[in-house]
Chain A
Amino acid sequence: MRLVIPLMITFVAGMIMILQFFVPATQSMGESLQEWYMIVASAAIFLGAVNLIQVHTHKIRFKLKNWKYSPVTIIGFSVMILTGLFLGIEPGRPFDYMFSQMMVPMGATMFSLLAFFVASAAFRAFRASNWRATLLLVSAFVVMLGRVPIGTMIWDRIPLISEWIMQVPNLAGQRAVMIGAAMGMVATSLRMIFGIERSYLGGAD
């Protein structure tokens, strides 16, 4: 009985979504479900915020390992929320200032780490150990050169070869992965809608 209700909800919601895709007359049912999801997703933001506070106050209270980072998190979280709520979010306000002068550069910094990690991963991974690895290495060189102006300066056909690699072999590989994954998605969805896969509910045999 503990599993029956969630399984029934999954089945009914799944069937409604499939039905509304093929039967236009039932679209309103699907739209209602989608609205519910949007409401649940919006409400869940508070759930996350509460959990964040709970976890970090717990760490501070019991002085758990690395607890000194937790006040930073709580202060940062509170300052952003309170300034936004009481002083507004319009340009020129403290919230906007913190967003553009702190959030933006910090986010960009994290993203730019990718350049360093790509370099070290490429250095490690691209070894001409056999003919297939060599082919991969040569393709990588052509694409890297083709994506920057210096490639054209070396040979004006490099961008064309690079584009061909992207449009033909890359595309074929991408499609194969996508089609395989799509089949997996359909099968997983069917397993869940029909209650065959229930391990996520603690119902594994």
Chain B
Amino acid sequence: MATFLEKLGNIDRRIIFIMMALAVIIPLSIRMSLPIPIGEGPSKDMYDAVEALPSGSRVLLSFDYDPSTMPELQPMAIALVQHLMTKDIKIVSMALWPMGVSLGNEALIAVSDSLGREEYVDWVNLGYKTGGGVLIVRLGSDIKSVFPVDYDGNPVDDMPVMDGVNKLGDFEMIISLSAGDPGVPAWVMMAGDRYNIPIGGGCTAVSAPQFYPYLSTGQMIGLLGGLKGAADYETMVRIGVENAPAGTATPGMAAQSVAHLVIMIFIILGNISYLAGKKKKGRVK
């Protein structure tokens, strides 16, 4: 008969699922909050790069995600748009994912309304086009032929925000919020490397490790990785801004802390069971 410790090693995965659900639900329900420490790292590099842009610069913001990754990427989008618009930086947005357009639009409209910015003067959403990397290459030579009209069907030629914007090289920075492919790698390889444009990005936590090589080579200027990256950026944007609206990523970090602890406890239990089983086998031999 298996001992309790041995059973612990084969715990039903549904118990793990329930504990995980509670680890997320309870901190969010009781509005548990933890301070977000900001140290050196890819999030800070991203913030510093945007902060260094002079007022009036133009940034291309690409919303390369869909609703499924919205909990991690939408807070980044809002915080980034807030930072860019506060600094009077012109935003030209687009999407390599069809559903990214409306999600990006939501962020742009919400922040633009709160800060009193004007569509077509301070920002524009060009919409979605299929093609991924191929599309980026085409944007490198002529943006207006790829996007003759914006998301709402208005000709981009008449828009003040598009004045002097003909190709990717006319942007001071490109930021891609990406949940997969096409996304950050395509922008780095097709735009950053080819046209020497600084590339920043945001991605889901599970994808973040794959972008570290781009950070170390300078192919990316900064990276917001998962909810932590979003919470870091929200915190940095809010520093020194009175009555800044609270983001959704920061409260999520408390839940993530507890969830990580729960996973660690399960791993420890699994190892206790494993070592107990090993010891028993040793005795039998």
Contact = CB atoms under 8 A, between A and B. Distances in A.
B116 interface: no
Interface string B227-259: 010000000000000000000000001101111
Name A's interface SS. Answer: helix
B16 A149 contact: no
Contact of A119 (B17, B68, B253, B257): B17
A127 B137 CA distance: 46
Nearest to A179: B213
Contact-residue size bin, chain B (C-beta under 8 Å from the other chain): 35 or more
A123 B270 contact: yes
A63 B275 CA distance: 53
A156 B70 CA distance: 30
B138 interface: yes
Contact of A114 (B21, B40, B206, B216): B206
Nearest to B266: A123
A157 to B, nearest CB: 10
A163 B41 contact: yes
B49 interface: no
A37 B134 contact: yes
A67 B50 CA distance: 53
Given A38-B135, A120-B16, A144-B264, A150 B34 contact: yes
B71 A112 contact: yes
A108 B71 contact: yes
A148 B274 contact: no
A167 interface: yes
Interface in A136-172: 137, 140-141, 144-145, 147-153, 156, 159-160, 163, 166-167, 170-171
Interface string A24-35: 000100010011
A107 interface: yes
A42 B254 CA distance: 43
Contacts of B71: 108, 111-112
A149 B257 contact: yes
Contacts of B259: 115, 119
Contacts of A96: 102
A135 interface: no
B67 interface: yes
B16 A119 contact: yes
A115 B212 contact: no
A127 B36 CA distance: 31
A99 interface: yes
B210 interface: yes
A116 B228 CA distance: 18
A108 B258 CA distance: 20
Interface string A175-196: 1001000000000000000000
B174 to A, nearest CB: 19
A19 B17 CA distance: 53
Given A122-B266, A127-B274, A149-B257, A38 B134 contact: yes
B69 A34 contact: no
A31 B16 contact: no
B282 to A, nearest CB: 14
Contact of A38 (B39, B68, B131, B270): B131
A141 B260 CA distance: 9
Contacts of B279: none
A41 interface: yes
B121 interface: no
A123 B11 CA distance: 9
Contacts of B141: 27, 31
B67 A108 contact: yes
B217 to A, nearest CB: 10
A150 B271 CA distance: 23
A108 B137 CA distance: 31
7 contacts: A108-B71, A116-B20, A145-B260, A148-B228, A148-B253, A152-B37, A166-B209
Interface of B: 11, 13, 16-17, 19-21, 24, 34-37, 39-41, 66-71, 99, 102, 129-131, 134-135, 137-138, 141, 205-206, 208-210, 212-213, 215-216, 226, 228, 253-254, 256-264, 266-267, 270-271, 274-275
Interface of A: 27, 31, 34-35, 37-38, 41-42, 96, 99, 103-108, 110-112, 114-116, 118-120, 122-124, 126-129, 137, 140-141, 144-145, 147-153, 156, 159-160, 163, 166-167, 170-171, 174-175, 178
The 5 closest A-B pairs by CB, nearest first: A107-B68, A104-B67, A107-B67, A150-B257, A148-B257
